[in-house]
Structure 1
Amino acid sequence: MKIVFFLQTVNKVNNVQSVFLDLAAYMADYTSHEVYYANNFFDADFKKHHPTTLKYVECAELRNDKFADAIFFTPVNYLCSLLSVISQFKKAKIAVLSYDAKSFEWLANTMYSVDSDEPNKLFEMVSKKNACAYFDYSCIRQDTVNKEEEIFIPTSLEYMLPDQYPNPALLSKKEINIGYYGKVSEFIPSFNNLLRNLGALQTGKNINFHVIGSMDKWFESTYFKNASTEVFRVIYVGEFNDITLTKEYVSKNVDILFATGRNAIEATLFGVPVVIPVIEPKGFHGDKYVRIFNASGYIYKWDRAKLSQLNNTVDTLEDIISDTYKRGRKRPLAKKGFEFVKKNASIENASLQLEKLLKQTQLTVQDCLANTSMKARINDYNKYHKRDADLDFNQYMVLRSKTPKKVDNIVSKEKDTSEYLKVQESYAKKISSLQKQEKIKVAFLVLFDTTFPTQPVFEKMMTNELFDPYVVVIPYVASSMKYQRDLYNKTLQEMERRYPGRVIGAYDVENRVYYDLGNQYSIVFFNNPYSWLVHPNHHIKYFTTKNCLTLFANYGFAAIKFWDEVMQTDTYNLAWKVCIENESNQEYMKTVHPIKGINSIVTGYFKMDSLADEKEILRSRKSILICPHHTITGWAKLDISNFLRYFDLFLKLPKLYPDIDFVFRPHPLLITKLTANKIWTQKQVDDYLKAIENTPNMTYDTTGYYLDKFVNSDAMIHDCASFMAEYLYTKKPCCYMMKTKKQTMEGLLPIGIKCINHHYHALTEEEIISFIDNVVIAGKDPLKEEREKFVETELRINYPKATEYLIDYIIKVLKK
């Protein structure tokens, strides 16, 4: 089976959500299934089970057709989130996990259903299709008749049980050694109750109480120190980073261990009897304890009210102490607890239960969308998603809960673009104001030193007295603070190296302050379309409230339909001007863009202006560029890489053609994705790059700038998006590697189709070799005349002065 575990969390997983990640990793590594874990990417989640064969994917990647035959597993309340990315797979099967009795009420809430009976309808839909499992008995609805017949995927250990079980003897009959394992702060009221119960026993023995777990320093320095007496000693150990160390400490110092929840399960591995106490938020009196093997319904944590509802055998503290110290039953009680966990709370058992659920579920995407409320909510989200492609379903629901009228207005067709159009109308007044300025101060907002498409504009403006341009480095906020800090510092240093005195930092790393750029700049260039990557102070929405003109230019040449999604972003609709490469793309933009391209300007393609400055070096040998794309896992509208089909061929070509020089220049993300997606090991990557290094007539190019490589080559073999237009600027022949011709053509814009029609096509290794033999070596190039005509008339717009064209346009607007 192809199984996808689906979450859409805003932070790394914890508590019940951890079960999903742990179970996914186990099934990937110890079963024959193909297993994926889909969530927003968090480094901690990725590293938790590293190394593993589990494949991590972003939620949006599930739109790819390769997941059409998968079975999806998700918590009940995430069902709408899942449907928002797989609604096109009508026959795909779904199974759900209920980890609370109110799960179906939560799901109904995400649908904003006004039908009070909606939770019941949803429950009936899922139950009829045998699609639901439960976390424990407390998660089952009260109207369920035969709870024992349901499938349970309970809390369990995140790893396999050990082969050898520790079985330490009693430490001493002269003193009592007990302990607590878990989060200490929630245990305080229970600890006070335990103290009273121990005092009432009057054992006549010294008692050592070992506290193992994390806690606040205030509790450590005051509370437990004050609790110790001559006969009652509290030893606060703290939290061990390694379970092996915890096990070692417990086996040498503890005879009975109190714990709750997952900690109670884990404690059975330490070779001691495990007892579950009552946990209350406030002080209480009671003498009821449950040995872990007497816990029922897969529940291992309770307060007094919940305990009274469970069918658990209860013991007093005297029973617990006497069994171990008077009757000498430490070892059999510990072993009984371990055997109980092995049967009821092992990851192996959870995996078997999930397999049973996945085999029996008949719930499909089509079944879910037959629910009127659910279908309506998905449709609303899809409408809003066209406007803001950055927003996932959970973010959309949060936004709607805060501003329901605003969101609903945007969702309704006639008001979809009202905010955008209002901003566009505001620019006329801003232009009038800016026309009075003698000097125009310009900001170029830069996230990455490698992604600066308006760099030629910045450099040209530095030579024009009318403009006062600056590179403003802004932080990337969509990852960890460490990554944000390191990337920001790297970009800032590189920009300062290139343009000393012309670079401004918009972030105080030490104090984590995101600077407000205010009204300092009259023109602001954006080099990234996605709002979620930046702080609100640096988002285009912020600058629409300022007296400035905003512009955006694509990093790559727009040739594929992935551009459709980019055109839905705020940046594309709020910018004063969006720079477009040619008339074909402008016409297409009018059909897809929410505001129909009214803010577009055909400037030409800035990046290629520099091509005219490159000089061809006199060569005696032919040179071919090999440029595979990075989408080896496939994206919904960008599934073009053929590297995994032809990586062996790429190493064979230099041997087949020793008189030709080959330059291997993959997309910068390709090598990283091979290991990040568990497709190759690091050793495989290293071996492959080493093989290239050891090939005399092949080089591995990782430089950021590549137009010099274009000029000093004779042909290109590739499957990239931007290169299908960019390399044609040289008028040289190129070969495009296709998965299928139909798939390739369906993913292209009109200009992309024209570009690809002036390429030679390769669906097989033989066709790649034929291109080299006939076109590159023999010079038989039947596409040459039409290709050169196409490049001159439809690609090289304003070439090589696209940058000057835009600057002249700005000057005309501001200096009428």
Structure 2
Amino acid sequence: MNIVFIINDPYANNIETLYAELSAEPENIITVVVCDRVGHSFSPAVPALEIAAVLADKGIPHIIYCADFDIEALKPDYIFTSNPYDIYIDDKLSSDKLSAIGRLIHVSYGAALIHWSGDYRVLAENPYLERASMVFTESAQLYRDRINFIPVGYLKLDSYAYYGRQFTRFDRKAIAWKPRWTGADRVNFISYAQSLFDVVKKNNLILNLIAHPLLFVSLSQEEGMEEGINLLNLMKNDECVRFVLGADFLDDVLGSDILVSDISSTMAEFMFTEKPVIFTGGMADLNKVGEAVMSACYKISDGDALKKKIESLLEGKDPLMSNRRGVYNWLFDGHEKVSVATRIKNILKDGLGD
């Protein structure tokens, strides 16, 4: 097989095991092309050199895209892109152009917990998804009406489930926090941040704050957020708080003892550990995956309730423990022996005969 990967984000954990499986077969020709992620006011740019550094650290050979680079000359059977949105990539690498060169492929980076409706309808109408020959997804419970969507399991967690990668081991109990900090949720952010900081200090815990690059920028643009910014600065200088960034953030997240999160695919990923999840969000139009995940989560609505729930869990009071058992494997097509990367490789081989 002749395969081109076009990478324009730094999260190599979604191709690492797949690249290893494909490149292990000498008859396969694998080319990894790194390009800039185009930035917008709502999502920062990422230079190709930064992404290339991540791939180099993973031992993945690559080339950096330039304007005169001719992908068509490679004559690829398949073209994988790390991002399914044309707005984040050079126009010369847009999905309409790539799909005319080879079979366009994408692997989902995180399980959707909500329906593509309302404000999220734009996701369903993304033209990339119509042009793609195959979109590999995490669960058979998702996108059943789309014939080019193929459930294979959670490639993002493949290295932990099948290749022996270990979570971070902390020297004391740790809480991972994935806050939502946009729009009206900025107010809740302050409430939960203070409560988490208080309970972490009181119980000598570690707080792994999964920090979006635009976190400080977003808060600074909203009036009345000085308290939140001051609190974040205080947390940044405290030895109990770790700001988790970068391509390997899941090492720290999955190594934590409790996840506190608003609606996020990280909630589904944490189900792999079968450890407690506390949901701090409001109403959401949940799909089947979201409903299953939420049924195994504790739901709280204010900072005081969050503190009480964390301290209760630290005491070993965990009535939802049995709800979490088996949820991940049921939702995400867990297989005892065959990795997700191997499943994808086999589908690609079969596809060449079509």
Shorter chain as normaliser: what TM range? 0.7 to 0.9
Structure 2 residue corresponding to 1:468, chosen from 5, 25, 29: 29
Report the RMSD for the aligned CA atoms in angstroms. Answer: 3.0
Structure 2: stretches of 5+ with no match in the other structure: none
Match of 2:218 in 1: 673
Partner AA of 1:533 in structure 2: Y
Q: Deviations over 1:421-455 (max 9, x none)?
A: xxxxxxxxxxxxxxxxxxx2211111122477334
Q: Deviations over 1:466-489 (max 9, x none)?
A: 322122123445669xx97x8234
Match of 1:603 in 2: 152
Change in CA separation of 1:675 and 1:526 when aligned onto 2, cut-off 3 Å: same
Match of 2:19 in 1: 458
Contact 2:295–2:323, Cα closer than 8 Å, also in 1: no
Contact 1:729–1:795, Cα closer than 8 Å, also in 2: no
- CA-CA distance at 1:716 after TM superposition: 1.1
Match of 1:576 in 2: 133
Change in CA separation of 1:765 and 1:733 when aligned onto 2, cut-off 3 Å: same
Structure 1 residue corresponding to 2:183, chosen from 627, 633, 636: 633
- CA-CA distance at 1:545 after TM superposition: 2.2
Change in CA separation of 1:569 and 1:678 when aligned onto 2, cut-off 3 Å: same
Partner SS, residue 207 of structure 2: strand
TM-score by length of 2: 0.85
Q: How far, CA to CA, are the matches of 1:786 and 1:644 in structure 2?
A: 30
Change in CA separation of 1:518 and 1:641 when aligned onto 2, cut-off 3 Å: farther
Match of 1:708 in 2: 251
TM-score by length of 1: 0.39
Change in CA separation of 1:515 and 1:701 when aligned onto 2, cut-off 3 Å: same
Q: Percent identity?
A: 19
Match of 1:82 in 2: none
Equivalenced residue count is 345
Change in CA separation of 1:478 and 1:661 when aligned onto 2, cut-off 3 Å: closer
Q: How far, CA to CA, are the matches of 1:797 and 1:641 in structure 2?
A: 38
Partner AA of 1:549 in structure 2: R
Matched, 1:647 2:215: no
* Superposition pairs of residues 101-140 of structure 1, within 5 angstroms: none
Match of 2:348 in 1: 810
Change in CA separation of 1:750 and 1:586 when aligned onto 2, cut-off 3 Å: same
Partner SS, residue 142 of structure 2: helix
- CA-CA distance at 1:675 after TM superposition: 2.5
Match of 1:621 in 2: 172
Contact 1:716–1:733, Cα closer than 8 Å, also in 2: yes
- CA-CA distance at 1:542 after TM superposition: 1.0
Partner AA of 1:812 in structure 2: D
Structure 1 residue corresponding to 2:306, chosen from 758, 765, 768: 768
Change in CA separation of 1:462 and 1:678 when aligned onto 2, cut-off 3 Å: farther
Matched, 1:663 2:208: yes
Q: Deviations over 1:577-606 (max 9, x none)?
A: 11111111032xx1xxxxxx1111111110
- CA-CA distance at 1:810 after TM superposition: 1.2
Q: Deviations over 1:213-255 (max 9, x none)?
A: xxxxxxxxxxxxxxxxxxxxxxxxxxxxxxxxxxxxxxxxxxx
- CA-CA distance at 1:708 after TM superposition: 2.2
Q: How far, CA to CA, are the matches of 1:499 and 1:618 in structure 2?
A: 24
- CA-CA distance at 1:616 after TM superposition: 5.7
Partner SS, residue 190 of structure 2: helix
Q: How far, CA to CA, are the matches of 1:690 and 1:450 in structure 2?
A: 26
Q: How far, CA to CA, are the matches of 2:271 and 2:340 in structure 1?
A: 17
Q: How far, CA to CA, are the matches of 2:170 and 2:52 in structure 1?
A: 38
Q: How far, CA to CA, are the matches of 2:112 and 2:132 in structure 1?
A: 18
Partner AA of 2:249 in structure 1: Y
Q: How far, CA to CA, are the matches of 1:572 and 1:646 in structure 2?
A: 36
Match of 2:240 in 1: 697
Q: How far, CA to CA, are the matches of 1:656 and 1:506 in structure 2?
A: 50
Matched, 1:443 2:4: yes
Matched, 1:539 2:89: no
Change in CA separation of 1:657 and 1:476 when aligned onto 2, cut-off 3 Å: closer
Partner SS, residue 326 of structure 2: helix
- CA-CA distance at 1:514 after TM superposition: 5.3
- CA-CA distance at 1:519 after TM superposition: 4.3
Q: How far, CA to CA, are the matches of 1:619 and 1:496 in structure 2?
A: 27
Q: How far, CA to CA, are the matches of 2:65 and 2:236 in structure 1?
A: 41
Contact 1:566–1:572, Cα closer than 8 Å, also in 2: no
Q: Deviations over 1:744-798 (max 9, x none)?
A: 3x3x222112211110001122321222122x22222222112113223223534
* Superposition pairs of residues 257-272 of structure 1, within 5 angstroms: none
Q: How far, CA to CA, are the matches of 1:526 and 1:641 in structure 2?
A: 36
* Superposition pairs of residues 276-295 of structure 1, within 5 angstroms: none
Q: How far, CA to CA, are the matches of 2:95 and 2:20 in structure 1?
A: 23
Contact 2:37–2:47, Cα closer than 8 Å, also in 1: yes
Matched, 1:791 2:341: no
Partner SS, residue 624 of structure 1: strand
Partner AA of 2:251 in structure 1: D
Match of 1:756 in 2: 294
Q: How far, CA to CA, are the matches of 2:6 and 2:56 in structure 1?
A: 14
Structure 1 residue corresponding to 2:280, chosen from 727, 732, 737: 737
Partner SS, residue 72 of structure 2: coil
Q: Deviations over 1:397-438 (max 9, x none)?
A: xxxxxxxxxxxxxxxxxxxxxxxxxxxxxxxxxxxxxxxxxx
Partner SS, residue 461 of structure 1: helix
Partner SS, residue 780 of structure 1: coil
Partner AA of 1:767 in structure 2: A
Change in CA separation of 1:808 and 1:756 when aligned onto 2, cut-off 3 Å: same
- State which structure, 1 or 2, has the greater radius of gyration over its C-alpha atoms: 1
Structure 1: stretches of 5+ with no match in the other structure: 1-439, 508-512, 591-596
Change in CA separation of 1:452 and 1:788 when aligned onto 2, cut-off 3 Å: closer
